């Protein structure tokens, strides 16, 4: 073997050792990064969201209109009132009558109102202040007579009522009827 061949082989061997040493240092550094760090654990949390139905979200009488019976509504650009059947009724399709509830107590009183025929829209329960209150009710179109009943509690005699009868031909539209809340 010649001297140049020996030097050539030795150079390759030295280069191979340097490469191996570099490779070993790189692998040790990578191992230190992989195994020397503390592993963090993450908990996977699954959150289930149950979307309630619109009926359970809305706490109103008429979820489709998002209104309560007796509240104002809009029907084809005309103002109306929500009926107990969840329809927006307008003045053209009903007869409007007004109860003027006169309170003879010194305090406000809760009054339950009923009509015969049954009203299409208007509050069933009315808080009547000491000064009294005026409340509108819609009756079916063409009604020519009705009876209004107001029920309220009296301290000594329990539940009492005032019944008023009203008749007008051909229609009761626009009628104002006085109802007295008094314990006699």
Q: How much is the pLDDT for 96?
A: 85
Q: Is residue 165 part of a domain?
A: yes
Q: Is residue 170 part of a domain?
A: yes
Question: 124: domain CATH number?
Answer: 2.60.40
Q: How much is the pLDDT for 68?
A: 84
Classify 28 in phi/psi space as left (phi over 0), alpha (psi -120 to 50) or beta: alpha
Domain total of the chain: 1
Q: How much is the pLDDT for 157?
A: 79
Q: Is residue 61 part of a domain?
A: no
Q: Is residue 19 part of a domain?
A: no
**Among 168, 177, 173, which Cα is nearest to 139's?**
173
Q: Is residue 12 part of a domain?
A: no
> How does pLDDT run along the chain (184 residues), one tens digit per residue?
576 676 677 677 777 777 777 878 777 777 766 666 666 677 777 878 777 665 555 578 888 888 887 788 888 888 888 887 888 888 777 888 999 999 988 888 999 999 998 888 788 899 999 999 999 888 888 889 999 999 998 877 788 889 999 999 888 888 999 999 888 7
Q: How much is the pLDDT for 76?
A: 82
pTM of the full structure: 0.57
Q: How much is the pLDDT for 77?
A: 84
User: Alpha-carbon distance 70 to 61, whole Å?
Assistant: 10
> Strand order of the sheet with strand 94-103?
133-140, 94-103, 175-181
Give residue 137's domain range: 68-181
Is residue 46 packed enough to be buried (19+ CB in 10 Å), middle (13-18) or exposed (0-12)?
A: exposed
Q: Is residue 111 part of a domain?
A: yes
């Amino acid at each position: 073997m010649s001297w140049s061949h020996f030097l050539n082989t030795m150079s390759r061997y030295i280069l191979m050792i340097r490469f191996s040493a570099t490779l070993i240092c790189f692998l040790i550094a990578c191992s230190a990064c992989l195994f020397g760090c503390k592993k963090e654990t993450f908990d996977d949390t699954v959150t289930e969201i149950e979307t309630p139905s619109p009926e359970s979200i809305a706490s109103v009488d008429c979820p489709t209109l998002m209104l309560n019976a007796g509240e104002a509504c809009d029907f084809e650009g005309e103002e109306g009132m929500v009926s107990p059947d969840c329809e927006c009724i307008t003045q053209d399709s009903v007869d409007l009558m007004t109860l003027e509830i006169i309170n003879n107590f010194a305090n406000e009183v809760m009054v339950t109102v009923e009509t015969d025929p049954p009203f299409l829209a208007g509050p069933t329960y009315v808080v009547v202040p000491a000064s009294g209150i005026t409340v509108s009710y819609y009756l079916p179109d063409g009604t020519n007579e009705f009876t209004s009943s107001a029920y309220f509690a009296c301290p000594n005699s329990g539940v009492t009522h005032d019944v008023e009868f009203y008749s007008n031909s051909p229609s009761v539209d626009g009628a104002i009827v006085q109802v007295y809340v008094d314990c006699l």
